[in-house]
Amino acid sequence: MKHTIRPALKEDIPSILDVLQPFASEGIILPRTSEEILDSLQYFFVSEKGDGICGVVSYHDYGPKLKEIRSLAVLQGETGKGLGSALVQWVSEYLIQQCPDSKIFVLTYSPEFFKKLDFKEVDKDLLPEKIWKDCQNCPYRNHCTETALILHR
């Protein structure tokens, strides 16, 4: 059955949480509440198969020059089929269309996955200070081991 990627709708929020929650519990991605997702619903996209949501991707908008891909997750059982790559490529193309000059970055524990998609590792200190605002509540904020990568194009 074919996957379709589309903007998230309010009624998708429980399914989005179902996809994100197992990885948030493991500390692989930042936890999100339904209120946070609702508040930033315009930044969420889902991959749908039949009437089920199998994957999620979101971005944070730091203005016309800087965008962050975040909340990327594929339902356990649906991984390894190209869905994660399709979501990253989809949101990257969307952002490039919106803001052709923007830098697209990601902070991740899966740098090798992003390297296959033309992201290149960069020194985290090169990213502007404002991106760390979101990390205030993270238990790893003083010893962050995530890798920063920027999309090369």
From first CA to last CA, the distance across the chain in angstroms is 31
Give the nearest residue (CB) to ligand COA.
Answer: 84
Among 28, 30, 99, 138, binds ligand COA (CB under 6 A): 28
The three-state (H, E, C) secondary structure of 87-120, written as one string: HHHHHHHHHHHHCCCCEEEEEECCHHHHHCCCEE
Of the candidates 28, 18, 47, which has an alpha carbon nearest to the alpha carbon of residue 111?
28
Q: Is residue 62 classed as helix, strand or coil in its secondary structure?
A: coil
Q: Which two tokens stand for residue 152?
A: 């090369």
By CB under 6 A, the residues from 83 to 112 that bind ligand COA are 83-85, 106, 108-110, 112
**Residue among 101 and 112 whose Cβ is closer to ligand COA:** 112
Q: Which stretch binds ligand COA (CB under 6 A): 9-17, 35-43, 45-53, 68-76?
A: 68-76
Q: How far is the CB of 58 from ligand COA (least distance, A)?
A: 10
54 binds ligand COA (CB under 6 A): no
H-only helix segments in the chain: 13-25, 34-39, 83-98, 111-115
Q: How far is the CB of 111 from ligand COA (least distance, A)?
A: 8
Residue 133's CB is within 10 A of a number of other CB atoms, namely: 8
Q: How far is the CB of 13 from ligand COA (least distance, A)?
A: 18
72 binds ligand COA (CB under 6 A): yes
The rounded distance, in Å, linking the Cα atoms of 83 and 95 is 18
Among 8, 13, 16, 29, binds ligand COA (CB under 6 A): 29
Where does this chain bind ligand COA (CB under 6 A)? 23, 28-29, 72-74, 79-85, 106, 108-110, 112-113, 116
